[in-house]
Amino acid sequence: MNNEIHFYTHGQGHPIIFIHSLGLDHNLWNFCIEELSTVAQTLTYDLPGHGINPPPEYPYNIEDLSSDLIKALKRNKISKASFVGLSIGGMVAQHLAAHNPDVVEKLILIDTTTKYSQEWKKNWAQRASIARSQGVSTMKEKLLEAFFTPDFLSHNSSEIKYCRSVINSMSDEGYALACEALALANTEDYASLIDSDTLIMCGREDNILFKEAVSWLDENIKKTQVEWLSPAQHVSPLERQEDFIKHLRAFLKI
């Protein structure tokens, strides 16, 4: 796979690259870009089959996404950056940091994991099948229930409207291919190679798989710090925006 990444860049200074989660796009990070771009350079982008990007013609894996990002760094003459990855974005960031330590200043992993159980792999296969046969939009409400706590979801805020809009316009094949990449993903063999300072954040009310992954990552990555966001589920940065920005800025010292 050769997906050429287009960065949306704001500000000057130390580069911070944000990688969004499955089913959303680079606009996920808009809530923090204005503030952070006054003290650093922020770069966001869309994963394959997300946002403006068409789905790839062939299946891909986490390693491919990491490779695409490294190529984009070289094209944009970025020699070193900090990386913020949410969910699948966190798995991409783990691979990149383990295999390209020289380009990583600091690493921020959010509501992510190292691998998925057999039950979850069946879930990814089912989601891929539904996306192709019925469309991603038919899963919209279930996805939102996984993204956010019931109370946050009930307010129908601009954040919820954004997520609904993105899911409604999501490429069905793009979503399915990403589900299949997640089913195959396993970062456990190399996560211990990560040498950069690493902040691990997770919604306190997220699925147990991601909360257990916090403990595994904290034990197996050399230099870690853990912060819980609560109340929050899987898309915790959107649900706890001020807390997220506070922890991020403190960790990056910006």
pLDDT exceeds cutoff 80 at 145:
yes
Residue 95 to residue 104: CA distance in whole angstroms = 11
pLDDT exceeds cutoff 90 at 194:
yes
**How many Å is the maximal CA-CA distance in the chain?**
47
pLDDT exceeds cutoff 90 at 122:
yes
| Domain count for the chain | 1
> Could you tell me if residue 122 is inside a domain?
no
> Could you tell me if residue 105 is inside a domain?
yes
Dihedral pair phi/psi, residue 134, rounded to 5°: -125, -20
pLDDT exceeds cutoff 80 at 226:
yes
pLDDT exceeds cutoff 80 at 250:
yes
Q: How many CB atoms lie within 10 A of CB 108?
A: 28
> Could you tell me if residue 82 is inside a domain?
yes
Buried b (16+ CB within 10 A) or exposed e, 206-235: bbeebbebbeebeeebeebeebbbeebbbb
Residue 232 to residue 238: CA distance in whole angstroms = 9
pTM for this entry:
0.97
Residues 6 or more apart whose CB falls under 8 angstroms from that of 225 comprise 197, 198, 199, 200, 251
Quick one: pLDDT at residue 2? Answer: 65
> Could you tell me if residue 165 is inside a domain?
no
Quick one: pLDDT at residue 123? Answer: 97
Which run of H or E residues covers position 198? strand 197-203
> Could you tell me if residue 205 is inside a domain?
yes
Place of tokens 């050399």: 222
Among 81, 79, 71, which residue's Cα sits nearest to residue 17? 81
Q: Binning pLDDT at 50, 70 and 90, where does residue 86 land? A: very high
Stretch 145-156: mean pLDDT: 96
Under 8 Å between Cβ of 103 and 80: yes
Among 97, 127, 92, which residue's Cα sits nearest to residue 113? 92
Among 29, 3, 19, 5, which residue's Cα sits nearest to residue 81? 19
Residues 6 or more apart whose CB falls under 8 angstroms from that of 31 comprise 159, 237, 238, 241
Work out the mean pLDDT of the chain and round it to a whole number. Answer: 97
> Could you tell me if residue 156 is inside a domain?
no
> Could you tell me if residue 226 is inside a domain?
yes
Residue 48 to residue 50: CA distance in whole angstroms = 5
Under 8 Å between Cβ of 221 and 131: no
Q: How many CB atoms lie within 10 A of CB 11?
A: 18
pLDDT exceeds cutoff 80 at 1:
no
Q: Over the stretch 154-181, which tens digit does the pLDDT of each residue have?
A: 998 999 999 999 999 999 999 999 999 9
Quick one: pLDDT at residue 3? Answer: 79
> Could you tell me if residue 210 is inside a domain?
yes
What range defines the domain where residue 211 resides? 8-114+186-252
CATH code at position 215: 3.40.50.1820
